[in-house]
Amino acid sequence: MKTRPVVGITGFHAHWTYPHGADLFTGVERVYTDGIANAGGMPVLLMSNPSTLDDALGMVDALVLTGGADVDPIHYGHGRALHTGDSDPERDHFEISLVRRALDLGIPTLAICRGHQLVNVALGGHLHQHVEGHEGNERPAAGFHSIEICAGTILRQVLARDHAEVNSLHHQAVAEPGESLVVTARSTDGYIEATEHAERPLLSVQWHPERQKDSPVWEELLGWLISETTRVAGPGARESVIGS
Ligand code: MN
Angle of the 217-229 helix axis to the 235-242 helix axis, nearest 10: 150
- Report, as an integer, the average pLDDT of 101-106: 97
Which one of 95, 193, 196, 210 is the catalytic residue?
Answer: 210
Q: Is the confidence at residue 219, as pLDDT, over 70?
A: yes
Q: Are 12 and 26 in contact (CB under 8 A)?
A: yes
Distance 59 CA to ligand 1 centre (A): 33
- Report, as an integer, the average pLDDT of 182-207: 97
The reported pLDDT for the residue numbered 139 is 53
The reported pLDDT for the residue numbered 136 is 74
The reported pLDDT for the residue numbered 1 is 83
**Could you tell me the domains of the chain?**
6-242 (3.40.50.880)
Q: Work out the pLDDT band at 231, boundaries 50, 70, 90.
A: confident
Q: Is the confidence at residue 141, as pLDDT, over 90?
A: no
The reported pLDDT for the residue numbered 2 is 81
Distance 107 CA to ligand 1 centre (A): 27
Distance, in Å, from the CA atom of 44 to the CA atom of 190, rounded to the nearest integer, reads 35
The DSSP bridge partners found for residue 16 are 23
Is 83 marked active-site?
no
Q: Are 56 and 227 in contact (CB under 8 A)?
A: no
- Report, as an integer, the average pLDDT of 155-164: 98
- Report, as an integer, the average pLDDT of 86-111: 97
CB-proximal residues (5 Å) to ion ligand 1: 134, 168
Distance 230 CA to ligand 1 centre (A): 32
Which one of 75, 134, 171, 208 is the catalytic residue?
Answer: 208
Q: Is the confidence at residue 236, as pLDDT, over 70?
A: no
The reported pLDDT for the residue numbered 234 is 47
Distance, in Å, from the CA atom of 109 to the CA atom of 9, rounded to the nearest integer, reads 10
Is 210 marked active-site?
yes
Distance, in Å, from the CA atom of 223 to the CA atom of 236, rounded to the nearest integer, reads 17
Single-letter residue type at 160: A
Residue % of the chain over a pLDDT of 90: 84
Residue % of the chain over a pLDDT of 70: 92
Distance 27 CA to ligand 1 centre (A): 24
- Report, as an integer, the average pLDDT of 100-128: 98
Residue 187's nearest CA partner among 166, 161, 159 is 166
Is 113 marked active-site?
yes
Which one of 113, 116, 134, 145 is the catalytic residue?
Answer: 113
Distance 206 CA to ligand 1 centre (A): 7
Q: Cα 58 to the chain's mean position, in Å?
A: 20
Distance, in Å, from the CA atom of 94 to the CA atom of 80, rounded to the nearest integer, reads 20
Q: Is the confidence at residue 241, as pLDDT, over 60?
A: no
Distance 134 CA to ligand 1 centre (A): 5
Distance, in Å, from the CA atom of 153 to the CA atom of 156, rounded to the nearest integer, reads 5
- Report, as an integer, the average pLDDT of 200-206: 98
Distance 192 CA to ligand 1 centre (A): 8
How much is the pTM?
A: 0.92
- Report, as an integer, the average pLDDT of 3-27: 93
Q: Are 32 and 43 in contact (CB under 8 A)?
A: yes
Distance 241 CA to ligand 1 centre (A): 32
pLDDT tens-digit series, residues 25-82:
999 999 999 999 999 999 999 999 999 999 999 999 999 999 999 999 999 999 999 9
The DSSP output letter for 236 is H
